Amino acid sequence: MTKIWTVGAIQAALARGDTTAVALAEQSLAAIAAQDGRFNAMLYLNPDLMEDARAIDRRRASGEAVGPLAGVPVLVKDTMDMAGLPSTGGWAPLSAKAGGTDLIPTRDSAVVARMRAAGALLIGKTNVPIMSASGTNANNSWAGPTLNAFAPDLAPGGSSAGSATGVAADYAVIGLAEETGGSIQNPAAAQNLVGIKPTFGLVPNSGVIPLAVSTRDVVGPVARTVRDAAIALDVLAGYTSADPKTIAGVGRRPLTGYAGSLMPGALRGKRLGLYGPGWRRDAPLSAGAEALYSESMETLRSLGAELVADPFAGSGFADLALIGPTGFDERGCESVVYDLERYLTAFGPGSAIRSIDSLKRVTGADPFDRAGVLGFMWDLPEFAHLVAHCAEPPDLSAFMALREAYLHLFNGVMEAADLDAMVMPQAQEETPPLFSTVPIRETAVSEINIAGLPGVTVPAGAYPSGSAFGLLFVGRMWSEGSLLAFAADYEAAR
């Protein structure tokens, strides 16, 4: 966009008559036309965008009530169904543009429907790595690699690379992102953005191509400011019968809303735990990360927070992780077979692809090929059986026992140390180069995704190289309101 907007600034400008939804849509399209030949964040533009914008302007002019995001440009991650546009998962067999077969939904995913109902201008769908299986980049997408708009020679963060790049490049104010193993917090931190990885079950993910929807997948926003991200979460969160697990979040949202929780002085008197080997063993911070973390600690102390060194030491929390060379603990992802079968079945008899078997038949490709991007899952217990019985619900008892163990230890330490949150660098070191085989080395991806805990990423400076440095606030389940308030207080002080 030619001007960097926030939700509040757009609402005020529209109310004064200083701009229109049509003008905002045109600005987004102009920014994409000028820059996306380089950044490659966009897969598809919304063909109805200008008519949608005109409809918002007509409603406003007639005095009709409009939603909280009326006229606000929003990007949709490719994996999220948007009626009439392909959902490819970054995979060539599901893209007619790449010689495959388009999978085109006839209705919106729950989160896209909520954005549409809130009046958002849905600009289009953004690039992802194949099946969202990379937390570092989108280099293997059928559409080609997405660049990092904040630092183009560095990895953009995955798998929500396109949504983050689009927001960082000012195509839109909000990007819809999704996380199974870092895919919200990694691109947010790598591109100097705010990201909300919500509690598992707070936001529906029905109508979203799954990686582990039964166990780990969550949808959340990326934005330039904490307030914009909080406003987006107010729209996204809440129960829907389309995703029964969201019943768990009923009564858990702040009465004032997430944006209404952002009060000055939120960090005063709060106790925050710090990163250390008690949280994750054998994963020290680089010297550069330590230096930036120390600067952030001074800011937190100046805001009245009390910092507690490595409160998880001796708790056994770090012993729960099984983190391999890539830095990822994939347990729970075996549910992808059953989850993908259910996702495809929802397309119904009008679709040529409505099951894993029909997907294989129509495309001539197997998403679970041992040599493919999901081949690592064959090391998970019972994965071979699940592939052979796609419609059979997986036995998740071992995973749920692991989640309970994580939550028991996390809650126990938080209570014993009287902590309001944890705060840590989002990554242990600088973002790796764009085409490097080195992954982003996060501090809290597997832990909070397995446990189902929320995390809020907020910009916190940059390394001398120009790589962004982000802080991650982590709290108990359903504590997004507090985490966002802490992040906003820190953001305001920088």
pLDDT band at residue 376, thresholds of 50, 70 and 90?
confident
CB-CB contact of 76 with 64 (8 Å): no
Helix spans in 254-335 (H): 287-302
Is the residue at 33 inside a domain? yes
pLDDT in tens, 8-61: 999 999 999 999 999 999 999 999 999 999 999 999 999 999 999 999 999 999
**Alpha-carbon gap, residue 270 to 394, rounded angstroms:** 41
Residue 422 in 3-state DSSP? strand
CB of 74 closer than 8 Å to CB of 166: no
Q: Which candidate, 170, 221, 176, 218, places its Cα nearest to that of 195?
A: 221
Catalytic residue among 28, 77, 134, 160: 77
* Among the listed residues 429, 436, 421, 437, the one whose alpha carbon sits nearest the alpha carbon of residue 472: 421
Q: How many domains does the chain have?
A: 1
Active site residue 77: yes
292 in Cβ contact with 258 (< 8 Å): no
Range of the domain at 445: 7-332+396-493
**Within-domain flag for 361:** no
Nearest of 311, 316, 314 to residue 273 by alpha carbon: 311
Largest Cα separation within the chain, whole Å, is: 63
Comparing 33-47, 100-114, 261-275, 327-341, which segment has the lowest mean pLDDT?
Answer: 327-341
Count of C-beta atoms within a 10 Å radius of residue 162 = 35
In 201-235, which positions are buried (b, 16+ CB within 10 angstroms) versus exposed (e)? bbbbbbbbbbbbbbbbbbbbbbbbbbbbbbbbbbb
User: Does residue 387 register a pLDDT over 90?
Assistant: yes
Q: Model confidence over 154-168: pLDDT tens digits?
A: 999 999 999 999 999
Mean pLDDT value of segment 369-375: 89
Give dist(CA 265, CA 170) in Å, integer: 30
Q: How many residues does the chain have?
A: 494
HSE of 384 in the Cβ direction (CA atoms, 13 Å)? 2
Q: What is the DSSP letter of 326?
A: T
Residue 381 pLDDT grade (very low, low, confident, very high; cuts 50, 70, 90): confident
On whether residue 346 sits in a domain, the answer given is no
Amino acid 327: pLDDT? 75
String of b and e for 89-99 (b: at least 16 CB within 10 Å)? bbbbbbbeeee
pLDDT of residue 1: 54
| 281/22 Cα distance (integer angstroms) | 52
**Residue 134 annotated as catalytic:** no
State the residue for tokens 């546009």: 85
* Distance (Å, whole) CA 142 – CA 65: 41
Q: Is residue 233 part of a domain?
A: yes
Comparing CA positions, the residue from 47, 30, 53 lying closest to residue 121 is: 53
CATH of the domain at 472: 3.90.1300.10
Looking at the predicted structure, is the pLDDT value of residue 470 above 70? yes
Our answer to whether residue 159 is catalytic in this structure is yes
160, 183, 214, 446: the active-site residue: 183
Does the pLDDT value for residue 2 go beyond 80?
no
In a domain, 2, yes or no: no
Q: Which of 159, 206, 315, 446 is catalytic?
A: 159
pLDDT band at 232 (very low <50, low <70, confident <90, very high): very high
Q: Evaluate whether residue 471 is within a structural domain.
A: yes
363 located within any domain: no
Q: Which of 61-75, 167-181, 373-387 has the lowest mean pLDDT?
A: 373-387
C-alpha to C-alpha distance for 198 and 375, rounded to whole angstroms? 28
Would you call 457 exposed, middle or buried from its count of C-beta atoms within 10 A (0-12, 13-18, 19+)? buried
In a domain, 134, yes or no: yes
